[in-house]
Amino acid sequence: MTTSEAPSAASQSGTGSRTVFLLAHTGRPAAIRSAELVVQGLLRCGIGVRVLAEEAADLPLPASAERVETGPGSPDALAGCELLVVLGGDGTLLRGAEFARVSGVPMLGVNLGRVGFLAEAERDDLDKVVDRVVTRAYEVEERMTLDVLVRTDGEIVHRDWALNEASVEKAARERMLEVVTEVDGRPVSRFGGDGVVCATPTGSTAYAFSAGGPVVWPEVEALLMVPISAHALFAKPLVTAPDSVLAVEVQPETPNGVLWCDGRRSVELPAGARVEVRRGAVPVRLARLHHASFTDRLVAKFALPVAGWRGAPH
C-alpha cells in the first residue's frame, strides 16, 4: 500500500475547473438524500458534478449536473474527474472500485450500509466530506488488487480482477467441490468443501474473514488463501508473499464450480478448470480523510470490546 497527497490545484489540467464523479445506491432513500446534500454542497463551491445517466433519473439533480452514458469498463466515464465519491454499502463501494480501477481516479466512500471497511466516512460526515473535497484535504493510498485467470485444457478462457477476493465455490448446494490448492507451482492440499477464497489484505475483512481467515493490515503486502468449510484435516488459511501465484484446480470427477470476483462478477467453472490468482497489475486508489490507525478502524467497525484497556506504559 502506498500513500500520496491529493493533487494540488496547480496540477489540474485545463482552465482550473474541477469535476467530481458521484456514484450512489439509488435504491436507498438515505443514499438519494445524501447524494442531494453532496451535490448541493459541491455546486455551491463551484465544483462540477458528473453522474451516470441511468442513476440521474432517480436523483434530485439540478440541470447543471453532467450526465454520462457509459459503464464501469470504460475510462471515459471519469475522464477529467479528480475524485469519485461513492454513497452506499459495501456492494456499491465495490461497484465504485470498478470505475476507480479502470480510470485511476481515487475513490472516496461514504458508508450507508452496515460495516463498510472500504468507506472513509459515515452518513453523519457529509458536510466534512464536501469540505475536504473542496479544499483537497485528503490523501490517496493504493490498494493491492488481484488478477485472475481461468484455464480449461491449458487454454485461458476467462480473465478477471478483484479488489477484495476471488472465490472458487461449489455451484450445487447438495455436493462438495473437490479441489487441489497450489502455491507457486507446488501442490499444497486436496480437499472437498464449499470452495476456496483468494484474497488481498483489503479483502481479509470481507468474505475471507467470514470463512475463518486472518485479519491482515492493509499496509502488509500479501496474498491470502482461505478454504471454505473444508472437510479435511489440513485446510488452514495461508498467507503468502505478494508475488506468489495461487491456484485452485477443480478436480475432473467433481461437479461444476463457479468463480466469483468481489461477489459481483461470476463465471462457471467446468470440472477440470484451473483458476490462477496473482497480484494485480493495476491497483485501486482510495482517498483517505483520517489518519486513524487500522486498529482503531477494526475496533469501531466490528464494535470490539476494549473495556479495561489501560494503554502501554510510557
* Catalytic site residue from 90, 124, 125, 147: 90
CB proximity list for 223: less than 8 A, separation 6 or greater:
146, 198, 199, 200, 239, 240, 241, 242, 244, 246, 277, 278, 279
Collapse the DSSP code of 90 into the 3-class scheme (helix H, G, I; strand E, B; otherwise coil) and give the result: helix
**Alpha carbon distances (Å) from 181 to 44, 159, 162, 248, 299:** 55, 19, 19, 5, 33
| Backbone CA torsion sign across 74, 83, 112, 162 | positive
Identify the residue whose cell numbers are 489540474.
Answer: 12
**Known active-site residue 90:** yes
Give the separation between CA 214 and CA 243, rounded to whole angstroms.
Answer: 19
- Element holding 278 (H helix, E strand): strand 274-279
Amino acid at 2: T
* Local structure of residue 231 (DSSP, 8 states): B
Helices (H), the chain: 29-44, 53-56, 90-103, 126-135, 207-210, 294-302
Annotated binding site: 90-91, 95, 164-165, 175, 194, 205-210
The residues annotated with a catalytic role in the active site are 90
